[in-house]
Amino acid sequence: MALKDILTLRLYTRVAHLGSFSAAARECGMSQSQVSRVVADLEAGLGARLLSRTTRALALTEAGAEFLARIEPILAAIDDAENSVRETGELRGLLLVSMPSTMAARVVLPRLWKFSEQHPQLRVEIILEDRFNDMVREAIDVGMRVGNMPDITGTARLVGHMSRVIVASPAYLSRHGTPQSPDDILTHRVVAGPASPVSWQFERDGFTSSIAPRATITTNDTAGAIAAAVGGLGVTSTTSWACRDELARGELVQLLGEWHMAKLPVHAYFPLGRATRMPARAFVEFIASELSPLDEGSTKGS
């Protein structure tokens, strides 16, 4: 495979992910017409239409999506081959990471500058989502998830834990009272987020209590559940790091502080299993080191 062919394939992947010739052109320092011509020549050489073009948007054809899924592992392997022989240990290429939006905003993105400065030639694209999609087909290198892992193919690594807390707004508590025991929560309005368990397990001085509160408000986003609690819609259970700012500002109050809930595991999921790329492994090592002090801090505060 000639260098020109590799550059063509890399350019196609950027157009496919960005959904725009102009956006890919700006990223690669080319003109829009140059990018369009390269992709058109690629389609002509393959004898297949990869992109569906309209006046408003680009979309992958079925052949284009299949081609993308097959070439990205090849390009990733080329990146790894280059990284393995580079004496400086500097990582290059594109790293695709999937993680929940709240984890990204509250934990990862404020600290990512450290990783970025260590590997300035590595481009990191973070996709914010809480769902387990087809990560192999989407060429995701690593997915970060909070909570128990579903039974899926691939390899998962436990990288840390997060404490769970019960919180509500002062305004809500002034209207409905403050629960003094886990059972009291059953009489309150409850906001459920994506990581909320069906059964809430509590432990205190060797005594355990289990309740199954019925949610009155449900959201598929942790930040949404926290916002609902701040707005006085009810009591919610979330991770200590997710609502740390709201607790510090007094917008939320921690409840039942003498009771402890089971910690939530944080996993890194590698869709390609042992074929995991070097940048993905380096990224996960970085996340594990950053989560460690947070885990220790939540232990001390619980």
Domains and CATH numbers, the chain: 1-85 (1.10.10.10), 86-152+267-302 (3.40.190.10), 164-262 (3.40.190.290)
Q: What is the pLDDT of residue 197?
A: 76
Main-chain phi, psi angles of 256, to 5 degrees: 50, 45
CB-CB contact of 168 with 252 (8 Å): yes
Whole-prediction pTM: 0.67
How do residues 101-132 score in pLDDT, each as one tens digit? 888 988 899 999 999 999 998 889 898 876 65
Rounded CA separation 7/4 (Å)? 5
> What pLDDT does residue 274 have?
52
Supply the pLDDT for residue 301.
45
pLDDT of residue 245: 92
pLDDT at residue number 192: 93
At 192, list the tokens.
């459920």
Residue pLDDT, tens place only, 229-251? 999 999 999 988 899 999 999 99
Mean pLDDT of successive 10-residue stretches along the chain, which has 302 residues: 77 85 83 91 93 82 89 80 66 86 89 92 85 66 81 77 93 96 95 83 91 92 93 94 93 95 87 71 91 62 44
Copy the structure tokens of residue 224.
Answer: 């949404």
Q: Three-state SS for 208?
A: strand
CA dist list (Å): 67 to 18, 42, 85, 96, 264: 16, 11, 28, 18, 38
The residues facing 191 across adjacent strands are 217, 236
For the beta carbon of residue 268, count every other beta carbon within 10 angstroms: 24
